[in-house]
Chains A and B, each alone.
Chain A
Amino acid sequence: MTTTTKPATPVTATRGRRPGAGALALRQGRLEITQFLRSRESVVFTMGFPIIMILIFASIFDGTIGGGVKFTQYFITGMIATGLMTVSFQNLGIWIPIERDRGVLKRYRGTPMPKWVWFAGKVIMVVAIGIAETALLLAVAVALFDLDLPGTAAKWFTFGWVAVLGVTACTLCGIAISSLARTARSGSAVVTPVALVLQFISGVFFVFTDLPTWMQQVAALFPLKWMCQGLRSVFLPESFGAQEPGGSFELGRVAVVLALWCVIGVVLCLTTFRWTTKRDG
């Protein structure tokens, strides 16, 4: 052993082999996706759940909701919205506390990795899994239940921005709510009831306008109802807008509410996010 000092090599930016910021984020995203796909629980419950639900619902309600429009056209919107919420809000709200409890987050904080790279990795994972899951859901619905896909570019565009805004809001809220869980195991206890209640009151399992008015009003405070409503404008004929609570699909309001939730989510994340557990001081 030596006590003589030997200056360690100074680290300069120029000799770095470290990947650039964008590449770091992509690597992080790839790692997150790998972890997700290798976790059987994640794949079955997060990706499988909406598909199982559409199989059940479309088999039970194989009639029409009037005007020759199949029930599937209605339920697919709830299933897509639920799927997007599951992959973002529930997935993150359950897994981040586990990673925090295990010290995975603490370990990342001890490296020179920029903080945002970790968040970017989660977002990339959510987006990739969300797209895959939605595509799978649509494929199953088209193949087995004669779902009619949107026929115009405008509808696909609406589909796109509703999904992006909705996933963004749910991702941010999922990261924010992860800080409520004190231990690894409490993540799902915190998140699951919230998600389940929102699914029931937001028109995922029932036709929204069949719900009691007060329930509709509570649901209107949260993103899921607006995601469903935006998606209904994509999968249902224009004329069905008249049956919505607001008398139309209210796409402007959908955008505003979802954007507002994105802002709330960012604020909550910035103020409450913890890299370590409480007992870590």
Chain B
Amino acid sequence: MNDPVDSFMNFDLISRYPGLVKKDQRTGYSGYIVEADCLVQFARAVRDELGFDYLSMITAADYYPDDLMDVIYLLYRTTGGPGILFKVQVSRLDSKVPSLSSIFAGAELQEREVWDMYGISFEDHPDLRRILLWDGFEGHPLRKDWKEPLFEEDSKPYKDRWPAGKHKRQEDLNPFKNNVSYPIGFEPEHFSSNNEKALYDALNKTSGNLNGSLKTDQIIVNLGPQHPSTHGVFRMAALLEGETIIDLKPVMGYLHRSHEKIGERNTFLQNMPYTDRLDYISSMSNNFGYALAVEKLMAVTPPERAEYIRVIMAELTRISSHIMTTGFLLNELGAMFTPSLYALEERELILDIFEEVSGSRMMCNYFRFGGVVRDISDSVIEKIRKLVFNRLPRKIDELDRYLTHNEIVRLRTEGVGVLTADEAAAYSAGGPLLRASGVPYDVRKAEPYSIYDRFKFDVAVRYHGDIYDRYLVRLDEMRQSIRIIQQAIHDIPSGPVMTGKSQYQPKVPAGEAYGRVEGPKGELGFYIVSDGKQNPRRYHVRAPSFINLTALSEMSKGEKVADVIAILGSIDIILGEVDR
């Protein structure tokens, strides 16, 4: 990562905070190391004076057995360009960092995640509770010395598989009821959670006195976790006055499957099929982000043809994801299944292409470090050509004619769930959610990766920040994606699709890297720390669905209960990515 502060401005952060800020000089690392005492001032200066107004990511990394944990912050400008990375180093025994949630509202959920996974407490955080794990959970699992009840080994491949492989079922080794570990003295039968109370207490009960002199009781309504509109297992605790929402808190983690912990035990390549399962309807994009991050560390670039194939696949993914979201948004509004099934028809055709090139419709596992698995045949290119030059533009226009001027759709969506441009950037919203609020921030233009700088396309942007605009932005984006694929199909060169030979244990030099792509849901990033071994030391996913949910509460305040369903639909969350 090159340093934007040095290269673009004569602004010396190091001499401004003498002794408190220094360069990160470990090999393969970049950015600054900031003392915890001046973190808040530093972040404020970086935001207000240098213009880094978009908090992209907060995460941590554990350097066990050293007594050291890094808390990592990554900021970008919404006007584009490279980001600024800074870290706070804390002790593993007594880890406290001031919270940035007063400066960046988007820090709230991410800091809770770091607390949950690493036990780093954020001082002055408004609501520091566990987020992905339940409150009776023992320990902080992403710490390197944490081990689950059936612990095999620290890293794959496991030694008992070969050459003396004897198969044993996991459930025989670790029967039900023994597969959790409790703190000493913990009685699961008598455990009563105080998390529920903390959750309800955290709701802001200041009423706007909505009904004038008429006194209305406030009640708490839980939408979910089992609710058909939540696209999975997701819960919203809403405080209502009448039918109006006073405050709302998302509750998640029901689909948590330790993606990052598994990722740190896998070898680099083994993570590739796991990324498919994050946002399981856009696996090609996930592959793309992860491949970019590891390629940065390995310093390889894919050959030309592979770059074109990657772009075509990523844009097809965007179309399939957006068309599905558009269809299912109408489900949320009560137009049961006709629009969503029209959307699914087109998605089927795109998935047929994925199946033909990668072997699987949804779990593509198609990208490798330095290329893609296999070349695409001329018949596949012909299929894609038929889709993007004929069928898809027609069908998107049809969907547009069908829904855009529909009065019911407009009444339900215009002016509902409004997020202003400033709020959207402050809440670290990404993708269509951010662009519908009038911030033309698209990673493909802001910091072009792969070969996106070669294509002519526009960043779709709308300015009202309501559900209707998010829907329109998605329609526009699909059309732009079609434009990109048309150009790519026209220009695609012949040649190899892999740099060198695909290796099953690639050598990844030590260091850190952050690879990001504009996924269908927003900025999808992978933060990888390698220490030169075959497994990553740190594997973090900057999940756009998860971070977009930070703004849900703000969007829902003052709206009716029924609208919250539509607002949630317009964010377009995939629980596989939210809970990881």
Do A and B pair up? The answer is no
Binding site for A on B (CB under 8 A): none
